[in-house]
Chain A
Amino acid sequence: MTSFDFEKSIQELEEQLAEFEKSQEKGKIDLTDKIEEMKGKIQEEKVKVYSNLNGWQRVQISRHPERPYTLDYIENCFEDFIEFHGDRGVKDDKAMIGGLAKLNGQSVMVIGHQKGRNTKQRQYRNFGMPNPEGYRKALRLMKMAEKFGIPVVCLIDTPGASPGLEAEERGQGEAIARNLLEMSVLKVPIICIIIGEGASGGALGIGIGDRVMMMENTWYSVISPESCSSILWRSWEHKEKAAEALKLTANDMLGNKLIDGIISEPLGGAHQDTSVAYKLFKDALLQEFNAVQKLPIEILIEQRIQKFAEMGSFEE
């Protein structure tokens, strides 16, 4: 499994443990005590490392190649998923997926960015960067959900909306803007969860909800740390500084009242123990749904708009 620089101390201990276990198997000396001691040490080190992650480290975990993607959550937390394709105008965007599924017996419209795992899939999914037709497909599905009174779940995981000739020709700006407006008054509950990367308008384009949650090791901001570094410091090398300055972690975002809650992950990130990650995700999602479904939709929409209207910092 891919590991990061800041995990080196854990890795070294794990290598030592592996050697003890190998010797133990050969049966020359009894290392049971040493092995137990080492396991304790590893756990201690993990807690030490993972409970003090900085912004850039969280960004790295959010991009871990084995981190669950939208389709993984759909497969493991929902039942009876049927995927719907196309925006009915231009084409089917592979970076944005959606369809109906059951969540504990309740129909929901699940919509999300989709990344690929290998080179071929990554290209097929355009690295999780939708074109305008992706946002328009998402809106089409939300309108369908509204028509049948079905709640919407949006899973956010994108390095940004696709920059390109065709995206501009077909109105990337308009497509995202339209979603912001329509989602703010959509007459069904919407729960948005950032499951990986939440980059800028490309993330926000499916990010207007009654609850906006971030998983523990994700980031959400107006720009990626790399691009921020290149623009403000005129070099790609200040990405760590940029990540700190942007205050893009779940804790920072909650502290600034820009999201509604945080979903815990297994120690070290969702990829470390996906079955635990799926359980934590599903429990949180059900809890939020239960809370929002208690309110009449008019009140919910009023609160949704009011929440976003209160975001900002100024003096008068």
Chain B
Amino acid sequence: MSWYKRVKEGITTLTSEKKSVPDGLWHKCNRCKKTLLAEDHAKNQYVCPGCHYHDKIGSEEYFDILFGNDFEELFANIKPTDPLKFKDTKDYAKRLNESQNKSGLTDAMRVAVGNLTEEQKLVVACMDFGFIGGSMGSVVGEKIARAIDYARENRIPLMIVSKSGGARMMEAAFSLMQMAKTSAKLALLGKAGVPYISLLTDPTTGGVTASFAMLGDVNIAEPEALIGFAGPRVIKETIGRDLPKGFQSSEFLLEHGFIDFIVNRTELKSKLTQLVKLLMNK
């Protein structure tokens, strides 16, 4: 998101309802370059009213869109470690520390249970791209596993919001095994007959795509998200030519049969409410 200070004089801003949006800031659309009040942009779920470009948002915003204030965060006390004492150009321990300070998050995954409607609860596990590229380490896997167990034990439908560059290399094989762990837990959820909806957002790649993100009873995606197993750069290097336009987009996946439908973020809550009602036969 690109924020910049209002330069023109004499423009009055509306009283902000959200603390996260400072007064007097404008938002410029990444794509169509149209400017609007940041506050209005936020009210429109961070979607450009002109070209429908969906800005990347994090767990805080998704919880707000789905639940307002009506939710409880779960498993917030689970924190990452550096099991391999991994060191590349930087110590992983240091990288974790810096990411935590910068983002205010403990890792790239938060779980909440809240009221989607007055009658219907929903468990939401949501990835944060702002934390080491939304990469999947042990904490992401453990929180998903516990979210699945919670959904199964309480018979509450589950949604996982994916937004990830894939594996967290600094946790090496620990990271790889989170694919196995989350998929095995989903098998149990499936046997219990509790619905799982996978929401794929920009970007969803690598080990996340090759595990829980593709295993929804219903797979849905935000428009124009990058979704794939191998990253576009790797494929381009492998085949030695440019990729076709729209390759690995939500629309491409819908066309190839891997997504049930695409949903605009502004309609996410209402569509989800309708879907869960249908799935729960309510």
- Give A contacts to B, CB under 8 Å: 161, 163-165, 167-174, 176-178, 180-182, 184-185, 200-201, 204-205, 207-208, 220-223, 228, 231-233, 242, 245-248, 253, 256, 258, 304-305, 308-309, 311-316
Contact for B83 among A220, A223, A228, A256, CB less than 8 A = A256
In contact, A314 and B139 (Cβ under 8 angstroms): yes
CA distance A118 to B130 in the complex (A): 45
**14 A-B residue contacts at CB 8 Å?**
A163-B229, A171-B256, A172-B230, A177-B211, A182-B187, A201-B207, A204-B177, A233-B89, A245-B86, A308-B177, A308-B180, A313-B83, A314-B139, A314-B142
In contact, B176 and A200 (Cβ under 8 angstroms): yes
Given A185-B187, A221-B172, A233-B88, verify A180-B179 contact (CB < 8 Å): yes
Assess whether B183 is interfacial by the CB under 8 Å rule. Answer: yes
Interface centre among A180, A208, A253, A258 (most CB of B within 10 A): A180
| Residues of A with C-beta under 8 A to B223 | none
CA distance A233 to B209 in the complex (A): 25
In contact, B184 and A308 (Cβ under 8 angstroms): yes
A-B pair count, CB < 8 Å, reads 191
CA distance A167 to B206 in the complex (A): 13
Which residues of B (87-124) have their CB < 8 Å from a CB of A? Answer: 87-89
| Residues of B with C-beta under 8 A to A313 | 81, 83, 138, 171, 174
CA distance A198 to B193 in the complex (A): 34
CA distance A173 to B256 in the complex (A): 13
In contact, B181 and A181 (Cβ under 8 angstroms): no
B 221-263 to A, binary, CB cutoff 8 A, 1 in contact else 0 = 0000000111000110011000110011000000011100000
CA distance A171 to B254 in the complex (A): 11
In contact, A220 and B183 (Cβ under 8 angstroms): no
In contact, B173 and A184 (Cβ under 8 angstroms): no
| Residues of B with C-beta under 8 A to A246 | 84, 169, 172-173
CA distance A315 to B96 in the complex (A): 13
CA distance A200 to B173 in the complex (A): 8
Q: How far is the CB of A306 from chain B (nearest CB, A)?
A: 9
Assess whether B175 is interfacial by the CB under 8 Å rule. Answer: yes
Q: A201-B176, A256-B84, A316-B79 are in contact. List 19 more A-B contacts (CB 8 A).
A: A167-B229, A168-B230, A173-B213, A173-B258, A185-B188, A200-B167, A207-B180, A208-B180, A221-B176, A222-B172, A245-B87, A246-B169, A248-B172, A256-B173, A258-B174, A312-B139, A312-B181, A313-B171, A314-B81
Given A173-B210, A174-B214, A181-B215, verify A163-B172 contact (CB < 8 Å): no
In contact, A222 and B209 (Cβ under 8 angstroms): no
Closest-by-CB residue of B relative to A219 is B173
| Residues of B with C-beta under 8 A to A258 | 173-174, 177
CA distance A178 to B209 in the complex (A): 11
Q: Which 6 pairs, one residue from A and one from B, show the smallest C-beta to C-beta distance?
A: A173-B209, A163-B230, A312-B138, A180-B183, A313-B83, A184-B184
Contact for B211 among A180, A222, A312, CB less than 8 A = A180
Assess whether B281 is interfacial by the CB under 8 Å rule. Answer: no
In contact, B84 and A314 (Cβ under 8 angstroms): no
CA distance A253 to B215 in the complex (A): 27
B 7-40 to A, binary, CB cutoff 8 A, 1 in contact else 0 = 0000000000000000000000000000000000
In contact, B174 and A312 (Cβ under 8 angstroms): yes
In contact, B169 and A222 (Cβ under 8 angstroms): yes
Given A181-B186, A222-B207, verify A309-B176 contact (CB < 8 Å): no
CA distance A192 to B207 in the complex (A): 20
Assess whether B69 is interfacial by the CB under 8 Å rule. Answer: no
In contact, B238 and A163 (Cβ under 8 angstroms): yes
In contact, A232 and B169 (Cβ under 8 angstroms): yes
| Residues of A with C-beta under 8 A to B171 | 222, 313
| Residues of B with C-beta under 8 A to A228 | 169
| Residues of A with C-beta under 8 A to B187 | 181-182, 184-185, 305
Assess whether B2 is interfacial by the CB under 8 Å rule. Answer: no
Assess whether B56 is interfacial by the CB under 8 Å rule. Answer: no
Closest-by-CB residue of A relative to B86 is A245
Interface centre among A178, A181, A205, A221 (most CB of B within 10 A): A181
Assess whether B191 is interfacial by the CB under 8 Å rule. Answer: yes
| Residues of A with C-beta under 8 A to B59 | none
Q: How far is the CB of A284 from chain B (nearest CB, A)?
A: 21
Q: How far is the CB of A176 from chain B (nearest CB, A)?
A: 4
